[in-house]
Amino acid sequence: MRVVALWVATTAAAVIGLVWAGWRLSKSTTYQVFGQLVRRVDTDDSVVALTLDDGPSRVYTDSVLRILTDSNVHATFFVIGSSLARRPALGRRMVEGRQELGNHSYTHHRLVLKTPGYIRHEVEGTDSLIRAVGQEGAIPFRPPYGQRLLLLPWFLSRTNRLTVLWDVAADSDPAIAGDASRIVQYVVTHVRPGSIIALHAEIDSRTTGREALPRLIGALHAAGYRFVTVSDLLRRARS
């Protein structure tokens, strides 16, 4: 009985350890098993990439685009395929305004422990919609919630797709997300040349992200930074 109890305890500990390791791996912003992961670019230029997740929104995308246009800023919008399918005119406006569209999956469901067929539909379906509104060139991909484990990175690697995360999460920390001034200060404090900034300004609940956006742009301009798309930032990487 003691041997059986020891075997059960050891097996349970091993399973718990594997689950914990998998959970940590799925949330890592610095490592994935397959393919190329980018969270910041090593560059000598004073440039940053502003990325906006989870649109396009019928209510808020117009105002976000207006802020970017008024500030002469080009950003990368990581769009949800199902939202873009409902609002292709907004997608065309983004492309016509020289904004970049990135792929943020079709449903925004976590792509961890999903089948290869499900992952393919989520990625390729959204890519097709992005192409349909006029975007050319490579389409960067950002996993929903930044999470991936094995099959998603494997699929992205096999299809020559790049995983783009961030090194400055502007409004993800609850300690700062509720205050626009704190968001701006956090970004200014943590940004550096080649940073990729992640902001949510197209969601109903992210009022402070929208409030922070023009102030964030102004603060970084004052600090000498210029804004480029993710693809442009990648081209500026130090070899």
What is the spatial distance between Cα 56 and Cα 198, in angstroms, rounded to a whole number?
Answer: 15
Q: Examine the residue annotation and report whether 200 is marked as an active-site residue of this protein.
A: yes
- Exactly one of 42, 45, 53, 104 is catalytic; name it: 53
Structure tokens at 157: 């690697």
Cβ pair 238, 43 in contact under 8 A: yes
What is the spatial distance between Cα 85 and Cα 56, in angstroms, rounded to a whole number?
Answer: 10
Tokens 């396009």, residue located: 56
Residue 29, Cβ neighbours under 10 Å: how many? 13
Rg of the chain taking only CA atoms, in angstroms: 19
- Exactly one of 108, 109, 200, 232 is catalytic; name it: 200
Q: How far is CA 159 from the centre of its chain?
A: 19
Residue 74, Cβ neighbours under 10 Å: how many? 18
Cβ pair 101, 130 in contact under 8 A: yes
What is the spatial distance between Cα 6 and Cα 22, in angstroms, rounded to a whole number?
Answer: 24
Q: Examine the residue annotation and report whether 121 is marked as an active-site residue of this protein.
A: no
What is the spatial distance between Cα 80 and Cα 91, in angstroms, rounded to a whole number?
Answer: 11
What is the spatial distance between Cα 103 and Cα 133, in angstroms, rounded to a whole number?
Answer: 13
Annotated catalytic residues are 53, 200
